[in-house]
């Protein structure tokens, strides 16, 4: 703890944003990171708690008190070393992680939490600017070949660790660019894609081979999940070619809303709408881009994905944007004694909401209503009803039916599962409930100990929070063992 009285002397200073009218004109990031002096003061606020709750609140267990102290002392070089010990990609998490560490911070009990995420952001941006983020190729190679299927943050982190442990790693990605939802879900205004390209170059220099446009396994017809693949490789080929296969395909099936009128034009999954815009920003030609320009947009779903639809619609120039949430409006402030150090239940207003959006809570959609005349195949309105929750059950409020004008409806109600045919191809159960329940014990042999053979293995690495690839790793068939 560099400054014993830091938390008494300094207020929390949040990162600044560019003004709304300015940022709505571009797809660029608009968060203005802390300057050096601000970051040092924010680091000084950390009390270096004997039991650092921030550290266990963080999904990758970042060693937060140590890097806070190093930033306070101006030792940025060691700060990035500490941060990289637990986090492969702090430039991603420093931008888009919801920061459960801050909810868990001891200062959050009766004051404002240490601005951990903004400090992390400052450390990694400085490290890249100073040229401190360099490839770390393995000194010794194991001679083992590992395939990573899916290039989202889980797959990328796993691939980097495996390559650094000396294995020959190939990442397979069905889409045309690397990054998973970081690339095609999260809009550029939240995270510019040059951050992914830079890491990809680092990983290539570490020996990772990237194969885009290649689908592994099998693909169902009529699947609305983004799939740019030009080539398919089946599971048998993968097992023949690699010592181990890691499935890191994410959870791509969107939750649907099968109410009357669902088939109308203008009703789309968020993950049909958002990838198109990200591709356009990347310079791709997109046929029939779904545009919100001049439209009354209703986003169904009150989470991060919904919020990204709001920000994207406003940048398109929507006539109005309304976001529905089925649950009642949470309180503005959490009940800290009740919730700390856990993720609190409270109203969350994102930067996209601040850019212009009506929010409706405790509202359910009963039907999508078609237009008339030439618009009869298109959505023109939504029929809704207010709901209440009684004893955990949703009950409609009599007489609260209403129609909302809508010519674009975006479904952002979460994701239910990975694409089943890919799991089937590898003989994996389709539900997490049916997956073997074991502690995550993926141990990665390092170069010196793994000169003996590894049995073929298929591992599933799915991360709920995207920096935790190993949180869900398991070894149901075959193991990483020295035989
Ligand atoms: C719009 C949106 C906004 C979000 N915002 C945030 C946020 O602000 N903060 C946050 O923490 N989280 C956010 N998330 C969640 C976060 O992006 C995901 O949790 C995370 O990307 C999951 O990582 P993953 O690597 O498990 O899977 P994914 O990112 O889904 O990557 C899986 C990859 O595998 C590929 N793939 C799948 N099957 C195959 C196959 N058979 N063959 C080849 N390739 C395959 C897919 O094409 C994809 O590229 C957001 C999600 C969305 C959709
Ligand atoms: S809980 Fe907060 S004050 Fe305590 S060590 Fe972590 S960041 Fe510092």
Mean pLDDT, rounded, for 213-228: 90
Q: Are 420 and 220 in contact (CB under 8 A)?
A: yes
The reply to whether 258 falls in a domain is yes
Burial class (CB in 10 A: 0-12, 13-18, 19+), 371: middle
Asked whether 327 and 302 are in contact (CB, 8 A), the reply is: yes
Closest atom of ligand 2 to 65 CA is 5
Task: Give residue 460's pLDDT band: very low, low, confident or very high (50, 70, 90).
Answer: low
Minimum mean pLDDT range among 200-209, 256-265, 424-433, 436-445:
436-445
Q: Tell me the pLDDT tens digit for each residue of 352-367.
A: 999 999 999 999 999 9
**Which of 278 and 441 is assigned the larger pLDDT?**
278
So what's the pLDDT on residue 323? 98
State the pLDDT confidence band at 422, using cuts at 50, 70 and 90. confident
Nearest CA to ligand 1 atom 30: 250
Domain assignment present for residue 136? The answer is no
Distance of CA 66 from the midpoint of ligand 2 (Å): 10
* pLDDT of res. 432: 67
What does the pLDDT read at residue 222? 82
13/7 Cα distance (integer angstroms)? 12
pLDDT digits (tens, 9 = 90+) for 50-82: 999 999 999 999 999 999 999 999 999 999 999
Of 377, 400, 415, which residue constitutes the final position of a domain? 415
How far does residue 49's CA lie from ligand 1's centre (Å)? 34
Higher local confidence (pLDDT), 114 or 441: 114
Task: Evaluate whether residue 135 is within a structural domain.
Answer: no
The reported pLDDT for the residue numbered 476 is: 30
Chain centroid to Cα 342, Å, comes to: 20
Q: Please tell me whether residues 212 and 274 are part of one structural domain.
A: no
Give 55 Cα–ligand 2 centroid separation in angstroms: 8
Pocket test for ligand 1, best of 90, 177, 185 (most atoms within 8 A of CB): 185
In a domain, residue 173? The reply is: yes
Task: Kindly report the CATH number assigned to the domain that includes residue 455.
Answer: 3.50.50.60
- How far apart are the two ends of the chain, measured CA to CA in Å? 47
Cα distance between residue 134 and residue 454, in whole Å: 29
Give the three-state DSSP class for 394.
strand
Å from CA of 87 to ligand 2 middle: 18
Report if residue 482 sits inside a domain: no
Residues 31 and 80 in one domain: yes
Q: Compute the mean pLDDT over every residue in the chain, rounded to the nearest whole number.
A: 90
Where are any strands of DSSP class E within 95-153? 145-149
Q: Flag whether pLDDT at 187 surpasses 80.
A: yes
- Whether 185 is in the pocket of ligand 1, judged by its Cβ within 6 Å, is yes
Nearest CA residue ID for atom 4, ligand 2: 49
303 CB within 6 A, ligand 1: no
Check whether 209 has a pLDDT greater than 50. yes
Q: Which residue, judged by its Cα, is nearest atom 38 of ligand 1?
A: 249
Nearest to 298, CA basis, from 280, 319, 281: 319
Q: Whose CA is nearest to atom 17 of ligand 1?
A: 181
Percent above pLDDT 90 for the chain: 84
Q: Which residues sit opposite 173 in a β-bridge? A: 212
- Using most ligand atoms within 8 A of CB, pick from 53, 69, 119, 341 the residue to mutate for ligand 2: 53
Task: Verify that 379 and 433 share a domain, yes or no.
Answer: no
Asked if residues 252 and 225 have their Cβ atoms less than 8 Å apart, the reply is yes
Ligand 2 pocket mutation pick from 106, 120, 336 by most atoms within 8 angstroms of CB: 106
- Given pLDDT bands bounded at 50, 70 and 90, which one contains residue 437? low
Q: Is the dihedral of CA 349, 353, 354, 356 positive or negative?
A: negative
Pairing of strands 253-254, 415-417: antiparallel
Shared-domain flag, residues 155 and 115: no
Is residue 394 situated within a structural domain? yes
Q: Does residue 461 carry a pLDDT above 70?
A: no
Say yes or no: 409 and 430 in one domain. no
Q: Is residue 138 part of a domain?
A: no
pLDDT score of 423: 87
Question: Could you say which of 415, 437, 462 is where a domain stops?
Answer: 415
**Ligand 2 pocket list (CB less than 6 A):** 46-49, 52-54, 64-65, 68, 105-107, 114, 116
Q: For residue range 239-275, what is the model confidence (pLDDT) as tens digits?
A: 999 999 999 999 999 999 999 999 999 999 999 999 9
Identify whether residues 285 and 194 lie together within a single domain. Answer: no
Candidates 413, 40, 426, 32; CA nearest to 236 is: 426
Are 403 and 268 in the same domain? Answer: yes
How does residue 430 score in pLDDT terms, banded at 50, 70 and 90? confident
Q: Whose CA is nearest to atom 1 of ligand 2?
A: 105
Mutate to test the pocket of ligand 1, among 94, 152, 225 (most ligand atoms within 8 A of CB): 152
* Last-in-domain residue among 130, 164, 185: 130
Rounded distance from Cα 10 to ligand 1 centre (Å): 37
pLDDT in tens, 397-406: 999 999 999 9
Least confident of 57-71, 205-219, 406-420, 464-478: 464-478
- Binding site membership of 478 for ligand 1 (Cβ less than 6 Å): no
CATH of residue 63's domain is: 1.10.1060.10
Q: Which pLDDT does position 224 carry in this prediction?
A: 86
Q: What is the pLDDT of residues 15-31, one digit of tens each?
A: 999 999 999 999 999 99
Helix orientation angle between 116-130 and 76-86, rounded to the nearest 10 degrees: 110
Pair 181, 248 in one domain: yes
What are the tens digits of pLDDT across the range 27-57? 999 999 999 999 999 999 999 999 999 999 9
Residue 459: pLDDT above 70?
no
pLDDT, mean of residues 112-118:
98
Say yes or no: CB of residue 249 within 6 Å of ligand 1.
yes
Distance 80 CA to ligand 1 centre (A): 25
Residue nearest to atom 26 of ligand 1 (CA): 250
Q: Are 67 and 94 in contact (CB under 8 A)?
A: no
Same domain, 259 and 372: yes
Domain limits at 203?
145-252+418-472
* Ligand whose nearest atom lies closest to the CA of 89: 1
Give the position, in ligand 2's atom list, of the atom nearest the Cα of 7. Answer: 3
Q: For residue 442, how far is its CA from the centre of ligand 2 (angstroms)?
A: 29
Number of domains in the chain: 3
Pocket probe mutation, ligand 2, options 55, 58, 68, max atoms within 8 Å of Cβ: 68
89-95 mean pLDDT: 98
Task: For residue 447, name the pLDDT band (cuts at 50, 70, 90).
Answer: very low
Q: Going by DSSP bridges, is the β-strand pair 145-149/168-173 parallel, antiparallel, or unpaired?
A: parallel
Q: Domain for residue 140, yes or no?
A: no
Are 163 and 277 members of one domain?
no
291 and 392 share one domain: yes
Asked if omega into 248 is within 30° of 0 (cis), the reply is no
Q: What is the pLDDT of residue 421?
A: 87
Residue pLDDT, tens place only, 321-356: 999 999 999 999 999 999 999 999 999 999 999 999
Atom 8, ligand 1: which residue's CA is nearest?
96
Do 242 and 259 sit in the same domain of this protein? no
């Amino acid at each position: 703890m560099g400054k014993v009285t830091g938390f008494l002397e300094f207020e929390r200073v949040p990162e600044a944003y560019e003004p709304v009218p300015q940022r709505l004109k571009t797809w660029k990031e608009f968060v203005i990171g802390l300057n050096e002096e601000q970051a040092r003061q924010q680091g000084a606020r950390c009390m270096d708690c004997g039991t650092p709750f921030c550290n266990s609140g963080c999904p990758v267990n970042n060693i937060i008190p140590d890097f806070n102290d190093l930033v306070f002392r101006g030792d940025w070089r060691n700060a990035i070393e500490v941060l990289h010990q637990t986090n492969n990609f702090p430039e991603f998490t420093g931008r888009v992680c919801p920061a459960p560490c801050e909810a868990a911070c001891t200062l959050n009990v009766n004051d404002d939490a240490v601005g951990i995420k903004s400090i992390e952001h400052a450390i990694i941006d400085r490290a890249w600017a100073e040229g401190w983020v360099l490839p770390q190729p393995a000194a010794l190679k194991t001679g083992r070949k590992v395939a990573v299927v899916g290039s989202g943050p889980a797959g990328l982190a796993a691939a980097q660790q495996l390559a650094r442990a000396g294995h020959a790693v190939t990442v397979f990605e069905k889409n045309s660019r690397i990054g998973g939802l970081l690339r095609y879900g999260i809009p550029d205004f939240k995270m510019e894609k040059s951050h992914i390209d830079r890491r990809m170059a680092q990983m290539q220099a570490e020996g990772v081979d990237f194969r885009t446009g290649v689908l592994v396994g099998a693909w169902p017809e009529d699947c609305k999940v983004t799939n740019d693949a030009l080539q398919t490789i089946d599971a048998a080929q993968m097992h023949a070619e690699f010592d181990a296969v890691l499935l890191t395909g994410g959870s791509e099936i969107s939750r649907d809303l099968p109410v009357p009128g669902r088939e109308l034009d203008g009703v789309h999954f968020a993950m049909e709408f958002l990838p198109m815009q990200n591709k356009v920003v990347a310079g791709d030609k997109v046929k029939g881009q779904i545009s919100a320009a001049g439209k009354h947009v209703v986003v169904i779903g009150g989470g991060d994905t919904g919020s990204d639809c709001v920000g994207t619609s406003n940048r398109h120039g929507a006539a109005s944007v309304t976001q529905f949430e089925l649950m009642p409006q949470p309180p503005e402030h959490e009940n800290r004694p009740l919730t700390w150090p856990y993720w609190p239940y409270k109203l969350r207003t994102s930067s996209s909401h601040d850019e212009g959006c009506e929010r409706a809570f405790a509202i359910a959609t009963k039907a999508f209503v078609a237009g008339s005349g030439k618009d009869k195949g298109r959505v023109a309105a939504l029929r809704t009803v207010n709901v209440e929750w009684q004893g955990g059950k949703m009950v409609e409020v009599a007489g609260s039916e209403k129609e909302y004008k809508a010519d674009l409806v975006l479904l952002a109600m979460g994701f239910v599962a990975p694409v089943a045919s890919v799991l089937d191809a590898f003989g994996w159960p389709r539900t997490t409930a049916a997956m073997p329940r074991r502690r995550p014990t993926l141990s990665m042999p390092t170069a010196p100990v793994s000169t003996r053979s590894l049995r073929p293995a298929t591992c599933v690495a799915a991360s709920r929070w995207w920096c935790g690839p190993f949180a869900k790793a398991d070894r149901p068939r075959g193991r990483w063992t020295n035989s």
